[in-house]
Structure 1
Amino acid sequence: MPVSPNLLERLVLFRLNRGPAPLLDLLGAASFESVSLALDMGLFRTLARSDGPLTAETLAERTGAHPDGVAMLCNFLVAERYLTKGSEGYRLTAMTETWLLPDAETDMGPWLTFWDELVFPFWERELETAVREGEPSQSIYEWFDEAPERWAIAQEGFRATASLVVDDVAEAVTVPEGGGHLLDVGGGHGLYSMELCERYRGLSATIFDVPGAVEAIHDDIPAELTGRIETQAGDYFDDDLGSSYDIALLFNVVHAHDPAENVALFERVADALAPGGRIAVLDQWEGSGRTPVASASLRFVALTYLTTLGASVYSHEEVSAWLEAAEFTDIRRRRVGPLSGMAIVEATKP
């Protein structure tokens, strides 16, 4: 909900507690659903492709909707700062142009669609079960497998959010001089491997993930990288990962597993690395949310992991202990992104 209470509203709602602050949660929920609908209708895209502002009637005609309904939706989106309204009609705000247009490098539309169509429906079904029993009745990945098209939506969403930090991540990862061979464990959308291969011409990559995830990214590998990036479907706990890799990525993987499983996974990765090879672990870590937004986001992520995977958020100290148990050395960490709460932890196989 981009709308922000003014000074008087903050005083009444927060400092004096004279008004119902939960009203902001209601507005936020309505805003999310309205933005998701606008994305599905192509409303923002339609405005972006016009030469000027559009009236509700014109928008309704071009999106196949009712003029009165479009007017109501757009007026709410004006209040939420996604649109502006003038005498000639509606326009996009700079925020919407930056974050919600398909042609923008920072398009977060697929991420919102992922939550609207997949995560929140799963939340509605599993949140109470997870809170009362400590885990959902099934993992969200198992649920994805029941309808393979869910994997495509999920990978587009994962890719959209990864695009926000991919440059920082690529700069933070230690790549051997001359490149080498990279193993991307649970690499999913493959964006990180693609970016690293584009930056380092001597680098090739194997993206290892479950069949549904791997199948969803085949068309996303750029033509110029098809000879340097391959995919492999399987279970990274049971199937052969290969050998003699120079670097291994485990990005947003460890939160899905318990400590014993993570130690076992690190040991498997160590076996797949050449002597002196590096492991890079990226995740959102406990204690890394230092601002109100970052802290709330971290707690939101933790509840999401519980609801969707029966999992949690771990600390830097825990991941370091697991790496030591797997006999990695020279453990270092580096923060990624200003608000993400994410950091990369790297270590070396002796």
Structure 2
Amino acid sequence: MENQSRTPSPALFLSTVNAYQRTAAIKAAIELDVFTAIGSGVEEATSLAQKCQTSERGMRILCDYLAIAGFLIKEAGGYKLTPDSAMFLVPSSKAYVGSTIEFILSPSITNAFDNLSTAVRQGGTAMSATGTLEPEHPVWVKFAKAMAPAMAMPAQLIAQFLKVDSLKRLKVLDISASHGLFGIAIAQHNPHAEIFAVDWAPVLAVAEENARACGVSERYHTIAGSAFEVDYGKDCDLVLLPNFLHHFDPATCEILLKKIYDALADGGRVVTFEFIPNEDRITPPEAAAFSLTMLATTPSGDAYTFAEYEQMFGNAGFNHSELHLLPNLPQQVVISYK
């Protein structure tokens, strides 16, 4: 009733058409390392300008805008970080996500939205026939490097949730491994886990580097090529399927899932990590809005509901699937059993 009775306003429209300015401001702040400077105690516009090598006027206006947007707090003595900015936007933090702009704001992604009306008309990306799914598209190397910091926490949470800490042998297949952190986390929790990562060769080079840095390279193996074509082997205990199924239509997903089913040992599990909207497809907003990204960048991808995942896995032969929430994350986990 409250929304129906309020006076109509163009505020939402104006804030939406100007939203590109918020994107530009946060990108500039990350590139200029403003959050590091403020976190180290440099808080006034004058000293921040010196530290970040900018004009004083430019720094004042940028920081004021960031305070308006909620990234900074402005006080009499200058600017301070919000708790969120301190945790996620200072590079020294283990939860730093600023590097994700290298992928999220790359031309391969942003250009896909230049012709969104065309994508809406035809029901899929207007970039090319395959969009970002072109074999060995260079954007996925950028993704692997840029998104790794943001995926470190989810990877560890999933490993903890799966309770893989044991001396039991574990054969793990990590499909579309990218940075490799999901498989690496399993290897860190189980000293007898052997990880087999599937992705394009240039992407797997990033994963191998991360495996070496995490001390699990001797148990980290790679399978280069298309997930739809390479040989997975047999008797896998666990298959990791992070952020992959959303790129395809359900029929294509089921082809992949049947291939995975054949590679699993009896009683094996598949762990799917995805943006999963509710049945209304508009909540929760972060997960539901991901459908638009898939419309703009892929021929037929989508953000699927749990019921749709249940059906896809069921059609592929799986016994049952379960939906699990992870704390403070927009993505959810589906565990499917053979």
Give yes or no for TM over 0.5: yes
Correspondence 1:147-186 to 2 at 5 A: 148=138, 150-173=139-162, 175=164, 178-186=168-176
Going from structure 1 to structure 2, the CA distance change for 1:289 and 1:321 (only over 3 Å counts) comes to closer
Correspondence 1:123-162 to 2 at 5 A: 123-136=112-125, 137-138=127-128, 139-142=130-133, 145=136, 148=138, 150-162=139-151
Quote how far apart the aligned CAs of 1:142 are. 4.7
- SS of 1:165's partner is helix
Distance 1:218 1:126 in 2: 37
Correspondence 1:36-75 to 2 at 5 A: 36-48=27-39, 50=40, 52-75=41-64
Out of 271, 290, 305, which is 1:315 matched to? Answer: 305
Quote how far apart the aligned CAs of 1:193 are. 1.1
Distance 2:36 2:110 in 1: 25
Deviations 1:293-334 (A, max 9, x none): x53223320010111112112222332233233222243332
Quote how far apart the aligned CAs of 1:135 are. 1.4
Quote how far apart the aligned CAs of 1:210 are. 1.9
Distance 1:318 1:86 in 2: 49
Are the equivalent residues in 1 in contact too, given 2:72–2:80 (CA < 8 A)? Answer: yes
Task: Give yes or no for the alignment of 1:335 onto 2:315.
Answer: no
Task: Give the aligned length.
Answer: 332
Task: Give yes or no for the alignment of 1:189 onto 2:172.
Answer: no
Distance 2:189 2:91 in 1: 24
Quote how far apart the aligned CAs of 1:73 are. 0.9
Distance 1:29 1:254 in 2: 29
Letter in 1 for 2:177: G
Are the equivalent residues in 1 in contact too, given 2:310–2:321 (CA < 8 A)? Answer: yes
- Percent of aligned pairs sharing the same letter: 22
Are the equivalent residues in 2 in contact too, given 1:99–1:107 (CA < 8 A)? Answer: yes
Quote how far apart the aligned CAs of 1:205 are. 0.7
Going from structure 1 to structure 2, the CA distance change for 1:317 and 1:207 (only over 3 Å counts) comes to same
Quote how far apart the aligned CAs of 1:282 are. 2.4
Deviations 1:28-59 (A, max 9, x none): 432221011110111212233x3x23332332
- SS of 1:90's partner is strand
Show structure 1 runs of 5+ residues with no match. Answer: 1-10
Are the equivalent residues in 1 in contact too, given 2:319–2:336 (CA < 8 A)? Answer: no
Distance 2:244 2:267 in 1: 22
Letter in 2 for 1:266: L
Deviations 1:251-308 (A, max 9, x none): 2221112222222111211222233322222222241689x8x532233200101111
Going from structure 1 to structure 2, the CA distance change for 1:211 and 1:140 (only over 3 Å counts) comes to farther
Distance 2:158 2:120 in 1: 33
Going from structure 1 to structure 2, the CA distance change for 1:14 and 1:218 (only over 3 Å counts) comes to farther
Task: Give yes or no for the alignment of 1:212 onto 2:212.
Answer: no
Going from structure 1 to structure 2, the CA distance change for 1:22 and 1:181 (only over 3 Å counts) comes to same
Are the equivalent residues in 1 in contact too, given 2:177–2:207 (CA < 8 A)? Answer: no
Out of 83, 86, 104, which is 1:97 matched to? Answer: 86
Out of 218, 223, 232, which is 1:241 matched to? Answer: 232
Task: Give yes or no for the alignment of 1:76 onto 2:65.
Answer: yes
Distance 1:120 1:316 in 2: 26
Letter in 2 for 1:186: S
Letter in 1 for 2:29: A
Out of 282, 292, 317, which is 1:303 matched to? Answer: 292
Task: Give yes or no for the alignment of 1:254 onto 2:277.
Answer: no
Distance 2:80 2:122 in 1: 47
Letter in 1 for 2:42: P
